C-alpha cells in the first residue's frame, strides 16, 4: 500500500518514513528541499534497506501538485508534513508562511477530492492551545483553541479548519490531525536526526550544538516563570514515539477504524520538563558540562504546557514510551555522528 509523505526528508518526515517502511508500506516522498537535504534518502536506505521513491517540487504550486496526483493513481494515504515551521521567521515574513503552509494543504485537498485519495494525516501542533488556563492543564483535545501567538501557529489553526470544512464538503475524505508537543531526539542508528540549517531556534539542537562546541553558550530564556525551577515547561516527546503514532494513524484510516471523518489527537507523553531539567538530563547522559546562562524571556513563549494523552492512548492504542534521558542521549549521539562525518 502506497503512502505519500510530503516533507519526507525533513526531521519528523524522515523518521516516519522509516517506521512506515518497517511496517511494510511503500513510501513516496515529495519534498522541495527548502529545509532538508537529499542525502537523507541515503540514510533512510541504510536503515531500512529500501530507497523511497522521491520527487522534488513545491506543493504550493497547484499545477505541479495536480500533475503529480494525475501520474500517481495508487496512493492510498497522505501524511502532510511539508511546511515552514520557524515561529520567529513567521512573524517577520507572515505571507511566506500563509502562502506555503496553506496553499500546499489546499492543493493537496483539491487533488484528494479530484483523484479520490481518501486519507490524510496532518501535522498540527500544541501551539493551537496557546497557554492553557490552569484548569486545562494537562491539556486535552477539548481544551479551547486560543488566538495564535504567531503566523506559524495561525497556519496550523486555519489548516485544521480548512481540513474540517473540506471533509464536510468532499464526501469520502477522512483526516486525522496530530497535535505534536515538543518532538526531540533521533533514530537509534544516529543516521537521521534533526538538522536545522543555520543557528537553531529550538532547544534540543541548541543544547547538542553547544555541547559539541559549535555554539559558545546556550541562552536559557527566562528564569522567573512560576515553575519548580523558574524555567519554562514543555512536554518533550521522542521522535520515534512520534513517528510510530503516524503509522498507527495511517493504519487506523486504511483499516476504516475511525469514529468520525475528522479526528484530532494530542501527541505528547503527559509529563512536563523544564529547560533546566533537559539540560541536567543532557549533562548526565553525555558527561559534558553545558555552558549556559539564564537570560530574559523570549517573546511569544508560554510558561508551561503538557499533554493529556489519555484520548490518544485509549483511541489509538499508542503510548509514548521513551524517557527524557533517551531523548537527550539519542539527540547527542546524532549530533556527534553527524559532525564526525
Ligand atoms: C515552538 C512552537 C511549536 C513548534 C516548535 C517547533 C510555539 C508556542 N511553539 O515550540 O509550535 O512546533 O517550536 O518549531 O510557538 N529555549 C531556550 N533556549 C533556546 C531555545 C529554547 O531556553 O535557545 C526554551 C524555550 O524558551 C522553551 C523551550 O526551550 O521554553 C522549548 O523551546 P523550543 O524548542 O523553541 O520549542 P517551543 O517554543 O516550545
Read off the pLDDT of each residue in 190-207 and give the average, rounded to a whole number.
94
202: CA distance to ligand 1 center in Å?
5
Q: Compute the distance between CA of residue 307 and CA of residue 225 in angstroms, rounded to an integer.
A: 19
Same domain, 160 and 209: no
Per-residue confidence (pLDDT) for residue 281, from 0 to 100: 98
On whether residue 55 sits in a domain, the answer given is: yes
On whether residue 198 sits in a domain, the answer given is: no
Q: Read off the pLDDT band of 200 (50, 70, 90).
A: very high
Same domain, 215 and 164: no
Atom 21 in ligand 1: residue holding the nearest Cα: 203
Peptide bond into 138 cis (omega under 30): yes
On whether residue 195 sits in a domain, the answer given is: no
Read off the pLDDT of each residue in 104-119 and give the average, rounded to a whole number.
97
Same domain, 150 and 285: no
On whether residue 196 sits in a domain, the answer given is: no
Same domain, 258 and 274: no
Is the predicted pLDDT of residue 341 greater than 90, yes or no? no
Atom 9 in ligand 1: residue holding the nearest Cα: 127
Same domain, 81 and 136: yes
Give the Cα-Cα-Cα angle 16, 19, 24 (nearest 5 degrees).
125
- Set of cell numbers at residue 264: 484530532
Question: Which is it for the CA torsion 77, 192, 96, 297, positive or negative?
Answer: positive
Average pLDDT, rounded, for the chain: 97
Read off the pLDDT of each residue in 214-233 and give the average, rounded to a whole number.
97
275: CA distance to ligand 1 center in Å?
10
Task: Among 10, 85, 87, 219, say which to mutate for ligand 1: greatest number of ligand atoms within 8 Å of CB.
Answer: 87
Same domain, 24 and 167: yes
Q: Compute the distance between CA of residue 132 and CA of residue 4 in angstroms, rounded to an integer.
A: 34
3-state secondary structure of 44: helix
Q: Compute the distance between CA of residue 249 and CA of residue 318 in angstroms, rounded to an integer.
A: 9
Q: Please give the tally of structural domains in the chain.
A: 2
Is the predicted pLDDT of residue 240 greater than 90, yes or no? yes
260: CA distance to ligand 1 center in Å?
32
Atom of ligand 1 nearest to the CA of 297: 26
The pLDDT tens digits for 27-47 are 999 999 999 999 999 999 999
Same domain, 164 and 19: yes
Same domain, 132 and 220: no
Same domain, 98 and 51: yes
Same domain, 45 and 129: yes
On whether residue 194 sits in a domain, the answer given is: no
Q: Compute the distance between CA of residue 171 and CA of residue 136 in angstroms, rounded to an integer.
A: 34
On whether residue 190 sits in a domain, the answer given is: no
Task: Among 145, 184, 221, say which to mutate for ligand 1: greatest number of ligand atoms within 8 Å of CB.
Answer: 221
118: CA distance to ligand 1 center in Å?
34
Atom 22 in ligand 1: residue holding the nearest Cα: 220
Is the predicted pLDDT of residue 271 greater than 90, yes or no? yes
- Set of cell numbers at residue 138: 494537562
Q: Is 273 a residue of the active site?
A: no
For residue 54, give the CATH number of its domain: 3.40.50.720
Q: Compute the distance between CA of residue 178 and CA of residue 246 in angstroms, rounded to an integer.
A: 8
Read off the pLDDT of each residue in 63-74 and give the average, rounded to a whole number.
98
Which residue, 267, 288, 322, sits at the end of a domain? Answer: 267
Choosing from 152, 180, 225, 273, the catalytic residue is 152
Read off the pLDDT of each residue in 174-179 and give the average, rounded to a whole number.
98
Question: Ligand 1 pocket: which residues have CB below 6 Å?
Answer: 85, 87, 125, 127, 149-150, 153, 182, 201-203, 206, 218-221, 232, 234, 275, 298, 301-302
Per-residue confidence (pLDDT) for residue 196, from 0 to 100: 85
Atom of ligand 1 nearest to the CA of 305: 39
For residue 332, give the CATH number of its domain: 3.90.25.10
Rounded to 5 degrees, φ, ψ at 293 are: -140, 145
Per-residue confidence (pLDDT) for residue 299, from 0 to 100: 85
On whether residue 300 sits in a domain, the answer given is: yes
Atom of ligand 1 nearest to the CA of 127: 11
Better-scored residue on pLDDT, 130 or 308 = 308
Per-residue confidence (pLDDT) for residue 149, from 0 to 100: 86
Q: Read off the pLDDT band of 197 (50, 70, 90).
A: confident
Q: Compute the distance between CA of residue 202 and CA of residue 17 in angstroms, rounded to an integer.
A: 23
Atom 19 in ligand 1: residue holding the nearest Cα: 203
As a whole number of Å, the end-to-end CA separation of the chain is: 35
Is the predicted pLDDT of residue 300 greater than 90, yes or no? no
Same domain, 256 and 280: no
pLDDT above 70: percentage of residues in the chain: 100
Question: Could you tell me the residue range of the domain that residue 320 belongs to?
Answer: 203-233+270-304+312-340
Residue ranges of E strands in the chain: 2-6, 26-30, 53-55, 75-80, 119-125, 174-180, 182-184, 218-221, 233-234, 236-238, 262-267, 273-274, 292-295
On whether residue 126 sits in a domain, the answer given is: yes
Same domain, 123 and 254: yes
Point out which residues pair with 180 in neighbouring strands. Answer: 125, 267
Q: Compute the distance between CA of residue 327 and CA of residue 271 in angstroms, rounded to an integer.
A: 13
Amino acid at each position: 500500500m502506497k503512502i505519500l509523505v510530503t516533507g519526507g526528508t525533513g526531521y519528523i518526515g524522515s523518521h516516519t518514513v522509516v517506521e512506515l517502511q518497517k511496517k511494510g508500506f511503500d513510501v513516496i516522498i515529495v519534498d522541495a528541499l527548502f529545509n532538508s537535504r537529499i542525502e537523507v534518502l541515503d540514510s533512510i536506505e541504510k536503515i531500512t534497506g529500501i530507497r523511497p521513491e522521491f520527487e522534488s517540487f513545491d506543493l504550493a504550486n497547484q499545477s505541479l501538485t495536480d500533475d503529480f496526483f494525475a501520474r500517481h493513481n495508487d496512493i492510498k494515504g497522505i501524511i502532510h508534513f511539508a511546511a515552514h515551521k520557524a515561529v520567529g521567521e513567521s512573524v517577520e515574513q507572515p505571507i511566506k508562511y500563509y502562502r506555503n503552509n496553506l496553499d500546499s494543504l489546499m492543493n493537496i485537498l483539491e487533488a484528494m477530492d479530484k483523484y479520490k485519495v481518501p486519507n490524510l494525516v496532518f501535522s498540527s501542533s500544541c501551539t493551537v492551545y496557546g497557554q492553557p488556563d490552569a484548569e486545562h492543564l494537562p491539556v486535552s483535545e477539548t481544551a479551547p483553541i486560543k488566538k495564535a501567538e504567531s503566523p506559524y501557529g495561525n497556519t496550523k489553526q486555519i489548516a485544521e479548519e480548512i481540513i474540517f470544512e473540506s471533509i464536510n464538503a468532499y464526501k469520502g475524505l477522512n483526516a486525522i490531525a496530530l497535535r505534536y508537543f515538543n518532538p526531540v531526539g533521533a533514530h537509534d542508528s544516529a543516521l537521521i536526526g534533526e538538522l536545522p540549517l543555520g543557528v537553531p531556534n529550538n532547544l534540543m539542537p541548541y543544547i547538542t550544538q553547544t555541547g559539541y562546541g559549535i555554539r559558545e553558550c546556550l541562552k536559557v530564556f527566562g528564569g522567573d516563570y512560576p515553575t519548580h525551577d523558574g524555567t519554562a515547561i514543555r512536554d518533550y516527546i521522542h521522535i520515534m514515539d512520534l513517528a510510530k503514532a503516524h503509522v498507527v494513524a495511517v493504519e487506523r484510516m486504511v483499516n476504516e477504524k475511525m469514529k468520525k471523518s475528522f479526528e484530532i489527537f494530542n501527541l505528547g507523553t503527559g509529563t512536563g520538563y523544564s529547560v533546566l531539567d533537559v539540560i541536567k538530563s543532557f549533562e548526565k547522559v553525555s558527561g559534558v558540562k553545558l555552558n549556559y546562562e539564564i537570560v530574559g524571556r523570549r517573546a511569544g513563549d508560554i510558561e508551561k504546557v503538557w499533554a493529556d494523552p489519555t484520548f490518544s492512548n485509549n483511541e489509538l492504542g499508542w503510548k509514548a514510551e521513551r524517557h527524557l534521558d533517551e531523548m537527550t542521549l539519542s539527540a547527542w549521539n546524532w549530533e556527534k555522528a553527524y559532525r564526525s562525518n
